[in-house]
Structure 1
Amino acid sequence: MKVAILAGGKGTRIVEETEIRPKPMVEIGGMPIIWHIMRHYARYGHDEFVIALGYKGQYIKDYILKYSSLHSDLHVSLRTGEVTRRNGLAPDWHVNLVDTGLETQTGGRIKRLAPLIGHETFMLTWGDGVSNVDLDRLLAFHKAHGKLATITAVRPPARYGHLDFDGDRVCEFNEKPQAAEGWINGAFFVLEPEIFNYIEDDTTQWEKEPLQNLARDNQLMAYKHDDFWQCMDTLRDKYVLEALWQSGKAPWKTWTEA
């Protein structure tokens, strides 16, 4: 099943990083966050990607083109320029890189991917959020209800530590847990190709009319994921994700190194 990833936004809320590269290329643990996302999908057998590029898209193109060389031992003949790769660690993924325009909105970017998606069920996510959502269960949920769209609903991470009291005594303390109340759009969609009919043009925001009209038409279902989810909207978010990775207990690391 193809996985569409929106990676064309300007990332203005994390401008400290995105002045020099697109947000999906901001690194966690020395690897771009888009790599973490792709590893999660590949762990469930989804290894054909369609990436919607926009702002500084050449950085993502360059990274994908050079990935095999960057993660392999190389023998280079200086005379002929011939390069032989050895001990390559590059995964067997197939990646389509599509320039969807600098100012195109999220819905427009999705619609521009339609020729590569074809008439098949596909997955969709953003290039800046990680989760340990079980993609097998998500897909099974989507197939069972028979609607056009499934959205993964998540509880946002709490900004501050959570305290439970017994009188004035603290009986439980959780440092920045997932919020106990409220659900938000966590992306990680499963979609039928008919959703392209809900998108008008490049100016359409996926989060507005398309999702609103899918809900109105009783074609939008929510898969509730109450475990780990974290987007990287700000520099603070990046620091949180980096600290989790360095701890060796990153919840979204669902794959093995082999």
Structure 2
Amino acid sequence: MKAVILAGGLGTRIAEESDTKPKPMVEIGGRPLLWHIMKIYAHHGINDFVICLGYKGYVIKEFFFNYYRHMSDMRIDLSTGDHQILNSHAEDWRITLVDTGADTLTGGRLKRAAKYLDDETFCLTYGDGLSDADIGAELAFHRRHGKLATVLAVQPPGRFGVLNLDADHHVTSFEEKPSDEIGWINGGFFILEPKAIDYIADDLTSWERAPLMNIARDGQLAAHQHTGFWQPCDTLRDKRELEDLWNSGKAPWRVWD
């Protein structure tokens, strides 16, 4: 089974980092977000990846082309250029890197990558969201309902504390960052049948608009509700929060340990 990862966007809300690299290459704990996402999938037995490139896609190509060297101890003789790998930490992954255009939208990126998906059920997610979602349980749910698409439904982390007031304007309670303040949202980590791609018109199609809306209209979209950890990395604040979790040794998405 393959996992498609959308990794071509600009990441304008975290421009301090994405000026020099694609947002999925922003590092948490010294490893790109993209690596963390792939480790999540690999933990659930999915090791075949199709990565949709766009903005500064060459940075992602370079990372994986030299992954063996990035992740291993080396000895280099500068006088001769000879080098020796002392140990290897390479992953058992197969990766297809697809140039999907600098200005292509999310749906168009998926459509361009379709020829590499072998006409079988596949996963799809964004290159900037981390979760401890049980992909295996979601896949079982997808197979049970038999529809074209499953989306991971999540409750976003609250940004602000909420004051509960009585009729006299007294604060009766204070809730620190409630997670259910806007209900369920699209958390990525889709599972799709190949025919879902037929809903995408062209490069200028956003997956989150007409395709998903029309799949839902046709009764072909189901939601797998996830009440555990989920967080995107949209801003520097998000990055710092994720870094703090990683450095604490309690990162919820680190399911592979």
Equivalence for 2:234: 233
Matched, 1:72 2:72: yes
Q: Report the residue type matching 2:208 in the other structure.
A: E
Matched residues, number: 254
Alpha-carbon distance change, 198 to 169 in structure 1, aligned in 2, over 3 angstroms: closer
Alpha-carbon shift at residue 152 of structure 1 (Å): 0.6
Matches within 5 A, 1:142-181: 142-161=142-161, 174=176, 176=177, 178-179=179-180
Equivalence for 1:85: 85
- State the TM-score, normalized to the length of structure 1: 0.92
Equivalence for 1:185: 186
- State the TM-score, normalized to the length of structure 2: 0.92
Alpha-carbon shift at residue 179 of structure 1 (Å): 2.8
3-state SS of paired residue (2:120): coil
Matched, 1:252 2:253: yes
Q: Any unmatched runs of 5+ in structure 1? A: none
Alpha-carbon shift at residue 81 of structure 1 (Å): 4.2
3-state SS of paired residue (2:5): strand
Spell out, residue by residue over 1:40-89, the C-alpha distance to the aligned partner (whole angstroms, 9 max, x if none): 10011101110000001111111111111011122345576444322111
3-state SS of paired residue (1:194): helix
Q: Report the residue type matching 2:194 in the other structure.
A: P
Equivalence for 2:195: 194
Alpha-carbon distance change, 242 to 177 in structure 1, aligned in 2, over 3 angstroms: farther
Q: Report the residue type matching 1:227 in the other structure.
A: G
Equivalence for 1:126: 126
Alpha-carbon shift at residue 196 of structure 1 (Å): 1.4
Equivalence for 2:113: 113
Distance 2:163 2:85 in 1: 54
Q: Report the residue type matching 2:66 in the other structure.
A: K
CA contact (8 A) 1:178 1:227 kept: no
Equivalence for 2:42: 42
Distance 2:6 2:152 in 1: 16
Distance 2:128 2:219 in 1: 29
Alpha-carbon shift at residue 227 of structure 1 (Å): 1.1
Equivalence for 1:103: 103
3-state SS of paired residue (1:113): helix
CA-based RMSD of the aligned residues comes to 2.0
Distance 1:148 1:33 in 2: 28
Alpha-carbon shift at residue 240 of structure 1 (Å): 1.2
Equivalence for 1:219: 220
Distance 1:136 1:165 in 2: 42
Equivalence for 1:31: 31
Q: Report the residue type matching 2:29 in the other structure.
A: G
Spell out, residue by residue over 1:7-39, the C-alpha distance to the aligned partner (whole angstroms, 9 max, x if none): 000011111111111100101111111111111
Q: Any unmatched runs of 5+ in structure 2? A: none
Q: Report the residue type matching 1:199 in the other structure.
A: I
CA contact (8 A) 1:27 1:33 kept: yes
Distance 2:134 2:162 in 1: 26
Distance 1:47 1:147 in 2: 24
Matched, 1:208 2:220: no
